[in-house]
Amino acid sequence: MYVQTCRVTETLMTSTTNPETLSGERIEELQQIAGDHIFIHAAQINDWRGKLKVYIKGEGVWVETVDGQRHLDSMSGLWYKSAGYGRTEIADAVYAQMTSIDSPPAGSSTIPQIELAGKIAELYPDHGARSFFVSGGSEAVETAVKMAKKYAQLNGKAGAYKVISRRYSYHGGTAMAVSLGGNHTADPMGPQMPGAIHVTNWNSYRLPFAGDPIDVAIKCANEFEEVIKHQGAETIAAMIAEPISAAYGIQVPPAEYWQRLREIADTYDIVLIADEVITAFGRTGEWFSPTNFGVKADITSVAKAITSGYAPLGAAIATKKIADAFAGGPNETFKHLITFGGHPISSAAALANLKIFEREDLVGNSKRMGTYLYEQLQGLFSHKIVGDVRGGLGLLAAVELVSDRESKTPFPAEAGLATKLPKLLIERNIVSFRAGDVISLCPPLSINEDEIDFIVSAIDSSLDALESDLGI
């Protein structure tokens, strides 16, 4: 499909100098230590023992292994490396803060933390917003939910403890977060958080109900209202949803869906939480994703791209309306504490990161390159196994594979796509954390057209090989 593949590959693969490689003996030693002593997140030990990819350098969208292999990271690490790798000015900011004051006495603050809160308020749709800083995404979601429950109690809903979320969503790995969405990929953890209620998620490829897509989207949103009416509005503290459901295969809803959620939340005086741990800070071509839909959330959970992964940081961002409820006396205090939340070093990293975003217009680049990526992916429909291509809203896209395009029949597990595709892609120098029935794409916002061509060409070639293996 891409006749320029060889030329592009040669240019991109040699644009920087390979790192100094380690000896074979040292690499074997590292593999042995890893195989005996660490967990790799969400991975079966026997699948990577002795063959773990160990990276020692990154630049732009590229990463390099201890043995000199160079790969394009199509997933931004774990959805977070938005500014790209090798940003020395972020490292410089971290060093400067670490050598001045690394952390202050409890109950105080530092200049980077204060400036970061102000910067977020400047970028956020509500400029009176207040940020509660935490260490990462799961904590941000926990904080947002806890904040919503406290807000409800302060506003006369003493019995409000229930939270409505969508099936198959992923909101984090802690006990409360796992209870939200009931994601099938999470290990069972016993009884869920009391009051966790799940409704139908939006799926643009396999509509959950028959009818016009916009009508179906509104029907899905209306399930929130049905729950509220059945349970009683006085018992519901919050509604939570990802603007684009990443864990569910990059499902992009129509604007009417989020507009209806906002309407329902306002009607019944319920806090609307946007889980933007993946989508905030430019991923969808806007600083915050609900802006694409003409909607503002009450509380927004963020992490990942706020520092581009250079240091751990997350936040629950509350509108002024929500935040003001916690001003007053002891009863109004939001009694929540995260030891390393808003750590000065992480805050310094975030400020330097956001300066890069603004200087290089990474949010605008996300919008432009996201459109280009979506357009280029359309060519993959030449493969019989490509059922759907999703995206077009910033640099977040997906290619869904099916055994039969007309019936949208998924491949059976025994087809082994989850093991075959990542191997085929890495052979073509593409790192993809998410590749199986759905190939998720979330490259750094700094990516250019040639690098997008490289990704699409690699997928194209991988699908050729996969179809051959499957006898298609």
**pLDDT of 221-270, one tens digit each?**
999 999 999 999 999 999 999 999 998 999 999 999 999 999 999 999 99
Say whether pLDDT at 10 is over 70: no
The residues facing 409 across adjacent strands are: 404
Say whether pLDDT at 292 is over 70: yes
Helix 213-231 / helix 255-268 crossing angle, nearest 10 deg: 20
Say whether pLDDT at 219 is over 90: yes
Residues above pLDDT 90, as percent of the chain: 84
If phi over 0 gives left and psi between -120 and 50 gives alpha, with beta otherwise, what is residue 252? Answer: beta
Q: Strand 271-275 vs strand 299-302: parallel, antiparallel, or unpaired?
A: parallel
Kindly list the structural domains of the chain, giving each domain's residue range(s) and its CATH number in brackets, ordered by start: 5-79+361-470 (3.90.1150.10), 88-360 (3.40.640.10)
Q: For residue 438, what pLDDT band results from cuts at 50, 70 and 90?
A: very high
Q: Which residue in this structure is represented by tokens 């904040």?
A: 147
By mean pLDDT, which of 33-37, 163-167, 232-236, 347-351 is the weakest? 33-37
How confident is the model over 372-382, as a mean pLDDT?
98
If phi over 0 gives left and psi between -120 and 50 gives alpha, with beta otherwise, what is residue 165? Answer: beta
Say whether pLDDT at 18 is over 50: no
Q: Return the pLDDT at 3.
A: 40
By mean pLDDT, which of 105-114, 251-260, 364-373 is the weakest? 105-114
How confident is the model over 179-205, as a mean pLDDT?
84
How confident is the model over 160-176, as a mean pLDDT?
94
Q: Return the pLDDT at 184.
A: 63
Q: Return the pLDDT at 47.
A: 85
Q: For residue 22, what pLDDT band results from cuts at 50, 70 and 90?
A: confident
Q: Return the pLDDT at 185.
A: 61
Q: Which residues contact 380 (CB under 8 A, 6 or more apart)?
A: 1, 386, 389, 399, 456, 459, 460, 463
| CB hemisphere CA count around 134 (13 angstroms) | 23
Q: Where are the beta strands (DSSP E) in 277-363?
A: 299-302, 314-318
CA-to-CA distance for 132 and 110, rounded, in angstroms?
Answer: 14
Element at 400 (helix H, strand E) = strand 397-401
- Percent of residues in the chain assigned helix, strand, coil, to nearest 5: 45, 15, 40
Torsion angle of alpha carbons 188, 191, 193, 194, nearest 10°? Answer: 150
Q: Which amino acid is at 258?
A: W
Q: Which residue in this structure is represented by tokens 């774990």?
A: 78
Tell me the C-alpha to C-alpha distance, in Å, between residue 433 and each of 133, 181, 248, 296, 443: 27, 21, 15, 31, 11
Which of the two residues, 51 and 128, has the higher pLDDT score?
128
Averaged pLDDT score across all residues of the chain: 93
How confident is the model over 438-461, as a mean pLDDT?
98
Say whether pLDDT at 188 is over 80: no
Output the six-digit token pair for 362.
């990474």
Q: Which value, in Å, is the radius of gyration of the alpha carbons in the chain?
A: 23
**DSSP single-letter state for residue 110:** -
CA-to-CA distance for 88 and 77, rounded, in angstroms?
Answer: 18
Tell me the C-alpha to C-alpha distance, in Å, between residue 51 and each of 14, 30, 33: 25, 10, 12
Say whether pLDDT at 12 is over 80: no
3-state secondary structure of 180: coil
CA-to-CA distance for 412 and 121, rounded, in angstroms?
Answer: 47
Cβ pair 126, 320 in contact under 8 A: yes
| CB hemisphere CA count around 158 (13 angstroms) | 1
456: nearest Cα among 387, 391, 399: 399
- What is the per-residue pLDDT across 47-99, written as a single tens digit (0 to 9) for each? 889 888 899 999 999 999 998 999 999 999 999 999 999 999 999 999 999 99
Helix 449-470 / helix 417-427 crossing angle, nearest 10 deg: 130
Q: Which residues contact 270 (CB under 8 A, 6 or more apart)?
A: 152, 228, 233, 236, 237, 238, 239, 264
The residues facing 452 across adjacent strands are: none
Phi, psi for 341 (deg, rounded to 5): -65, 130
The residues facing 199 across adjacent strands are: 166
Q: Which amino acid is at 86?
A: G
Torsion angle of alpha carbons 101, 106, 112, 116, nearest 10°? Answer: 160
Say whether pLDDT at 11 is over 60: no
pTM of full prediction above 0.75: yes
Say whether pLDDT at 5 is over 50: no
Torsion angle of alpha carbons 260, 183, 73, 24, nearest 10°? Answer: 170
Output the six-digit token pair for 58.
């990154």
Q: State the DSSP string of 240-290.
A: EE-SSBTTTT-B---HHHHHHHHHHHHHHT-EEEEE-TTTTTTTTSSSSGG
Cβ pair 227, 164 in contact under 8 A: yes
Q: Return the pLDDT at 183.
A: 65
